[in-house]
Structure 1
Amino acid sequence: MNTSVNNKDKYGEVFTPPFLVQQMVDDLKFESGYELSLPNINNVFEPGAGKGVFFDVFVNQNNCFCGDFNYILNEINSEHLDDLQSVCKKQGGNSEIVLQDCLDFHAECCIDWLGDCDLVIGNLPFNCNTKKFVPSLAINHKDEESVTKSKSVTMWTKITHFCFEHILKPGGYFYAIIPCIWLKPDRGGVYDLFTRDNSVLMLKTFDCKTANTIFDYNCQTPICYVLVQKKKTNCDKPFKLYDHQKEKYLDFRLSPGKCIPTHCVQQFICHSEYLEKNKISSCYEHVLKISTLNPKCLAGEIVRFSKGGLEDYEGGGGHGDDFYKIITGSLFDKKTNKLTLNGFASSVPCLYYGKPKLILPHKRLAKFYKDYDGTYSCFGRDMYVFLCDNQKQIDELYDFLNNNSIVNQMIETGFTIRMNFIEKYVFQYIPWIFHSDFDFESYEQECKIY
């Protein structure tokens, strides 16, 4: 294993290409309006400075800060000291290199800029200590504890909270590259920190494929760069959100608790306005997420279908007719345009057996399956179900959700924060068509396909 891989696992070290930092500079100048005046910045703090690319682009190449500013480059890996000193030579009197874990800073350190920084910038280290646990990787490395019992620590959430609590002054700005997982209420509390306790001003997202290309295949998760002011949120004020389809920033007003879309932003804007204006409930209030590994169902397994075909099983083989079909996933054949089900037959049913429903059986495949009479039950994780009263409701909901503007522009690509998984939160913007006030004609007029 080479040094760079070791450093990635140990420090969360992934170097930022200069062109991406330049893009951040350009967006900051042209999209943030008069919210942030770079020439008036006095103290700048960069956690995880690496080899100094942010300093080089912001200071050496663009001369973003004027006068007697102070730029603090914080780096935990001493290997980069020579690179940092070299890149800071042009502005020697305006830079300070601190080789230390920033989480160890405290009031007793007598650091005059602690709590008095106008701007925090950088590409925060995502994880450290060792490789992050990945279920698919663990399957083929069952005997390696470094994989199956990962001691990886999520650093970016800790550093983000630390910067707001101990580094930034009131009214200061946070402008950094971080994962997209915070775009919905998250366990790390960053969603609330940004959208409730402070003010998001600008946001641009990148899907996992784009992020992986940008970072030379060292980043497999959707990322973003976000500008946040340490100032209480004004919920009525929109922020700038980049729409990749329109190739420009749009004004986006976020309702508390809702996710922030990553693609087709205009679609989400018009749907949000429609729901709010007409007081229509969303599909989010009715969708059920499956998360169960019922051992009784597994113990009663009769036959398994890992390559589709569960829907065609009719018993036999000496097992009699007393069996239940349990869905664990699905496959889609583009040649035949057919969805086929993975799962197993068991002597014990699982969730939602006997209930008419519309099922989304695959976490990365926006293909629904109709279960008119409740023949199927559900097992596993990241599967979604809509319980319906009858066949008519199932057909109507199926047709509505398969509208191109919804299935392709919203469900499948509109909100991706974990690889290409379909997230439950995307349904917050999709109207529940069985709401008493829902009118399809007015919906079509107000939510045009963009």
Structure 2
Amino acid sequence: MKYFYCTLLITLFTCHLATAQSNFKQGYILDAKNDTIKGYIDYREWNKNPKQISFKPTLDQAAKTYTVNTANGFGITGIEYYDRAVVSVSTSPITLSRLPASVDTSAIIDTVFLRVRVNGSKLTLYELETFEKVIFYIGEKQKATITPLKQYLFLNEENRMIVNSNKYIPQLLNLAAIYQPNDAKLKQLIANANYNIRYLSPIIIRLNGDAWDTQTVVDNTSVRYFVGAGVTNARLKFSGDNAPFSNGKTATSLSPMLSAGIDYLFNKRTEKTVLRLEAALTLSSFNLSEGRVLNSFNQNIVIRSLKFKQTLVSLTPQMLYNFYSTDRFKIYVDVGVNMNFSSFNNQHYQSNYADGSSRTENNLDFESFYITIPIKAGVQMGKNFQIYGGYILPTAITNYTLWSAEIPGIQAGLVYLFQ
């Protein structure tokens, strides 16, 4: 467990670094008079739309705070843009345990910074992320209005089904009738649209009728691929008084590991939070022997030995979080779930007695599928290289009642990112 505590200490240290970290990017502020002030904004991977931001006219000047009451908008050049607006914010829940029994149209009026997702000559698609949910808005430039696209979820208690009240679809069809009345394909896209940016963004682009490259389309999500190589110091450990080897008896294997996978970046500009799916291959070889006294009166000593090779294929969804992040250097922690598909080959389990006789025992029954929890900490240098160390928490790989065997381990490796 000492490796687990080391990882925990690294996490706490990086949390301290993250608290003091700033990330000023070139941008601008629209002040209360609608004047544009150029400078630098402390850019964050905001979990919800910010109510305030830090701004510097130059990097060597002190930061000043602008809020929804003192700025009409701001932008991080080439990355994200926000407009101030007073809008209706739906408060109806979407969490399953809190769903109402019918449509809940409750809302509050709030002053917010709306994130621009698509900006064309006629319409703007905005996004507002609250603690409760994501809400989309349509800004009509000719009317100078901003209207929420409405969707409500409720629970039909009679058949215990979640029902979607998709009022945003007739809203979009009405806009299509105004701005693109002859576009039959657009109407089909709207009819099949889900309430998320992947569906709504191309619809607004098409409603504007502009060339794609003349519209501002903001999408900072991204995917990247990676390959990796490393070593695992795996430790076979037996536990229980009835185990074939002494309670706590271990054997180790220093094993090569190859991996590959895909990363989903929630924000490719900050790379703060990454959803990673990794496939890995590990080849291990264990050799364990032990002398045990079977009969204390005659001092009948037996030497038991166990040899086997393990081929382990693991599929691991995991969440990687960069606590400290600059363009050239990042520090991260990574927690996931290993789904392990294992084969145990060339198993040889034998007992050798003091009189010179020997007996081949029945092979131990190891699980072909089991789940483990890996915890990693590492650094990223530049855009392409990650170096990490990690610990795999102990999990039983047997299903016996009176004893168990585990293979925890520590890992170290190098990852190359294609981006």
TM-score bracket, shorter-length normalisation: under 0.3
Based on CA coordinates, which of the two structures has the bigger radius of gyration? 2
TM-score if structure 1 supplies the norm length?
A: 0.24
Point out the structure with the larger helix share. 1
TM-score if structure 2 supplies the norm length?
A: 0.25
